Amino acid sequence: MQSRWDIGEPIKPTINEDTEQLKSELLTLNMGPQHPATHGVLRIEIWTDSEVVAHVIPHLGYLHRCMEKHSEQMDFRGVIPYVDRLDYLASMNMEWGYAITVEKMLGTEVPRRAELLRIMTGELQRIASHLMAFGTYALDLGAFTPFLYAFDYREKILRFFEEVSGARLLYNYMWIGGLWNDWTDDQLDRVKVFCDEMELEAKKYHQLVSMNKIFVQRTANVGIMSLQDCFDFGATGPILRGAGYKWDLRKNKPYSLYNEFDFDVPVGTGEQGVVGDCWNRYIVRMKEVTESIKIIRQVFDKLEPGPVMGKVSKVIKLPKGEVYVRTEAPRGEIGFHLFSEQDGKTPYRMKVKSPCFTHVSMLPRVAPGQMIADFVATIGSIDIVLGEVDR
């Protein structure tokens, strides 16, 4: 397998057939469930041949909360807090996907101001999520300072959300038919100022980390997920774009009002290393931060006063049928497959297609042949959130 050491075949220790003690065998190593590099409660069973990974088996389910079963007993509005807890670092995007699903089935019109504010909050959340990914990734690789910078600015976004929704992580803010609460002009002005600051800050991060020699050596040519791997496993989001494929639902299958917006879809170009490695996945995220700022600025030009909640009846009853909606969350495509019965007040069945679940399933394909330290870099680069994997 390709590794930055370029060792070709794993080096086998010389085996002395006569001596029992010198027999070489695979060593099983458990990474997790409380290992900091797994970003949550994921256990990975690694079979190592000296320092080289021979085989990995991810064990999931440590954070399984039966979310799909619970939602079958909740009314459609009551599911939203459960949906929040899927990807707890990007709750706004989870709520948004769910709200679109129910609205599509209900045939509700969302007011224009609500749609624009949804785009703004969604993109702010994307920046916050990518900052988290950037900070913890650098932390995984042994650099502590970027983590502090990233959390400083993530905190500012969380403050905005706290003001407008009352919660810092799990918002219950995007309701079916619109938004729970409007943003005041004062808050929007402060978001404008934040965008200017964030743009400079993103440049600073870029100078600080992206081309840092040690960082490049740790990430370039490591954990290569080729385009073929991505299609085999159905990978989406920064993984697919890092492999050099220009695919973004916001651009290619626009939902909400994204077709009115002008932005680029950054892809991995192989500036360092090769396309599809950890460095390219990282740089896609960093470039997306800048694109999100661009989108938020365009929201301010379009924003006009108006209602933020559409007309939805008190008890939501859906027709018999099914709907599958996918939206672009920071970690990839999140899809909700919702089934309802005639005049159903609760979902008959709701399947959540989570992006990280697919990405974790790619680990057994990419890991063999890597050094253990490189494997840690690979896990960090796919930016796992276990709330979404285990549901």
**DSSP 8-state secondary structure symbol assigned to residue 258:** G
Q: How many Å separate Cα 31 from the centre of its chain?
A: 22
Q: Does 254 bind another protein (CB under 8 A)?
A: no
Pick 302 or 351: Cβ nearer another protein = 351
d(CA 157, CA 147): 16
Q: How many residues does the chain have?
A: 391
Q: Does 339 bind another protein (CB under 8 A)?
A: yes
Q: Does 245 bind another protein (CB under 8 A)?
A: yes
Give the helix ranges, DSSP H, for the chain: 67-71, 80-84, 91-106, 112-140, 145-165, 185-205, 213-219, 227-233, 238-242, 249-252, 278-302, 355-360, 363-366, 372-381, 386-390
Q: Does 357 bind another protein (CB under 8 A)?
A: yes
- Interface residues for another protein in 302-321 (CB under 8 A)? 319-321
- Tokens standing for 296? 């938020």
Facing residues of 58 across strands? 44
Q: Does 180 bind another protein (CB under 8 A)?
A: no
What is the Cα Rg of the chain in Å?
22
CB of 14: closest distance to another protein in angstroms? 33
Q: Does 45 bind another protein (CB under 8 A)?
A: no
Yes or no: say if 280 and 273 are a contact pair by the CB < 8 Å rule: yes
Among 6, 20, 107, 200, binds another protein (CB under 8 A): 107
Q: Does 159 bind another protein (CB under 8 A)?
A: no
Question: Of 77-85, 185-193, 198-206, 333-341, which part binds another protein (CB under 8 A)?
Answer: 333-341
CB of 339: closest distance to another protein in angstroms? 6
> Tokens 């619970």 — which residue?
70
H/E segment holding residue 376: helix 372-381
How many chain residues touch another protein (CB under 8 A)? 42
Pick 10 or 58: Cβ nearer another protein = 58
Question: Of 76-84, 117-125, 162-170, 232-240, which part binds another protein (CB under 8 A)?
Answer: 232-240
- Residues with Cβ within 8 Å of 45's Cβ and at least 6 positions away in sequence, in order, are 28, 29, 30, 31, 56, 57, 58, 59
CB of 224: closest distance to another protein in angstroms? 16
Question: Of 83-91, 165-173, 205-213, 244-252, which part binds another protein (CB under 8 A)?
Answer: 244-252
Facing residues of 371 across strands? 52
Q: Does 388 bind another protein (CB under 8 A)?
A: no
Q: Does 331 bind another protein (CB under 8 A)?
A: no
Among 100, 116, 325, 382, binds another protein (CB under 8 A): 325
CB of 370: closest distance to another protein in angstroms? 19
- Interface residues for another protein in 56-75 (CB under 8 A)? 60-61, 64, 66, 68-69
- Tokens standing for 203? 């440049």
Is omega for the bond preceding 254 within 30 degrees of 0, making it cis? no
Yes or no: say if 30 and 42 are a contact pair by the CB < 8 Å rule: no
12-30 burial, b if ≥16 CB within 10 A, otherwise e?
A: eeeeeeeeeeeeeeeeeee
Q: Does 253 bind another protein (CB under 8 A)?
A: yes
Among 81, 234, 270, 368, binds another protein (CB under 8 A): 234
Which residues in this chain contact another protein in the complex, by CB under 8 A?
Answer: 60-61, 64, 66, 68-69, 104-105, 107, 231-234, 236, 240, 245-247, 252-253, 319-326, 333, 335, 337, 339, 348-349, 351, 353, 357-358, 361, 365, 390-391
